[in-house]
Chains A and B, each alone.
Chain A
């Protein structure tokens, strides 16, 4: 996919995230908008996974450790053809499989998540199994910055380095905020790079809302043979909608009709601008 196509996908995914959260009157808006560029690049540019090969044991794996940003994952999986996008009109509704956190009831999902601090250990196990089976697959997870306070993540990090899991890549959606406030005010992570490096991982930092930069970084996995890879993706919570960016209440805020209209207008303008650039090019 070209850089422009990737950028266009991100804008369209943001529109869809808002559409379905607005319709459901529930969802984790800020975090989904923050991590969508990461998911876009993973699924459209990096990972070898699709509805066609989803039952193939050699497929790449993705587990969303920050399960609450499930809306971002839903719109990407729908776009890849795992299920009809209209299904998301039932998001968070009674009897819908499209619940508020990832579940394997939805095709394309590898793992049920929701409680935080689980994803990295699961991915480490998956990566270790692949090593033992000599399968060339890679395992990816997106971690939230708030959940880095979970001790389980650091236990998994020790293990992954010990077993030299260079088929494992963890991406930190580092939007610097969690439900109560700034990470720095709740439980600070810094210096996160040095901490992760000290645990034996190779770390790269990238603008996590820049699909081109993300694609460049994730093309060179593993960063070093014999070591797990960690990407600190610097992101903005609520990215793409002016009045949501960095504003805490959008952690799980649902837009009013006026706010929804305004947000969709902004995103549509961004989309049109990209389309014009494509024509000019």
Chain B
């Protein structure tokens, strides 16, 4: 199955969001886009051009944007407030917590430039804590798609979903390998490649890193089961436990701090149901810095080699 996972041409996940919004503009008249002065970065110009009356520019006032989104949802709209991931979460956490989560508003917070891979802007803009913050909010759905096609499909699926949600994606061009015609099922893990020695659960840009790592490991006779956890909350516990029952050990991979993210979400399921050795591929409790994705990922422990090393380590602990 590994050889079926082919990059059909690099595209940014944020472009997938823009394409999904463009589609929603045509099919769902309740969808409203909001943006805090980052229209070009969020790739929603086509939506705006075709639906100018359904776009609200908040300017650089993210707290205000989240409050307005909550109010729009009260009025029956499906608001998609969007900005960079740090400004969409940490900056406005109390607005999200009180006005959206606690108030159970049908708001879809869409966040680009998540993680290290935004590059040159450095640490203030490279949030590595957002998955943790958002999955702690009661009732919130948290999704981190892995490529352009999946981001587009997830965006479209969110308009049908009822409840607050956080969609996290990124800036760089990245391998696009999931099917263009996929139906995105929120909360359903995606089996990418079956294997027997280790379960690798990964999310976002790191999915491709795990695919490359699995190819290298296959040459050494190690069989990896690759499962894409695009929805971190609600987590597909059945898929996690079924895989672990077969392999008996786990590696998790995410472009996020090792605290609070996918790794912890998986560990919670394992400790309560089926404890097995687990290794984390994640950022080791630090902020980022400027640089290109290819430079930053290995430095912060998110390289293909880091996945390979984590697999070898966890196999020894089995």
Contact = CB atoms under 8 A, between A and B. Distances in A.
A114 B60 contact: no
A99 B40 contact: no
Nearest to A96: B290
- Cβ-closest 6 pairs across A and B: A114-B124, A187-B59, A94-B291, A149-B59, A99-B122, A94-B295
B55 to A, nearest CB: 12
A247 interface: no
Interface in B78-134: 86-87, 91, 120-125
Interface string B142-167: 00000000000000000000000000
Contacts of A94: 289-292, 295-296, 299
Contacts of A146: 37, 59-60
A180 B122 contact: no
A179 B59 CA distance: 10
Contact of B124 (A67, A117, A149, A187): A67
A101 interface: yes
Contacts of A178: 37, 59-60
A206 B63 CA distance: 31
Contacts of A113: 124
Nearest to A183: B59
A95 interface: yes
> Interface majority SS on A: helix, strand, loop or mixed?
loop
B57 interface: yes
A178 B292 CA distance: 25
A147 B125 contact: no
A29 to B, nearest CB: 13
B241 interface: no
A151 interface: yes
Contact of B60 (A24, A93, A116): A116
B124 A115 contact: yes
Interface string A246-263: 000000000000000000
B38 interface: yes
13 contacts: A99-B289, A100-B125, A101-B125, A112-B124, A116-B60, A146-B37, A149-B64, A151-B63, A179-B38, A180-B37, A186-B59, A187-B37, A187-B58
Contacts of A99: 120-123, 289-290
A94 B297 CA distance: 11
A68 B290 CA distance: 13
Interface residues of B, number: 28
Contacts, number: 91
B268 interface: no
Interface string A64-77: 00011000000000
A187 B58 CA distance: 7
A93 B124 contact: no
Contact of B37 (A24, A95, A103, A186): A186
Contacts of B124: 67, 101, 112-115
A93 B58 contact: no
B61 interface: yes
Contacts of A112: 123-124
B39 interface: yes
A21 to B, nearest CB: 11
A26 interface: yes
A103 B123 contact: yes
B61 A149 contact: yes
Interface in A136-151: 146-147, 149-151
A147 B36 CA distance: 10
A93 B291 contact: yes
A92 interface: yes
A67 B60 CA distance: 14
B125 A180 contact: no
Contact of A150 (B57, B60, B122): B60
A187 B40 CA distance: 16
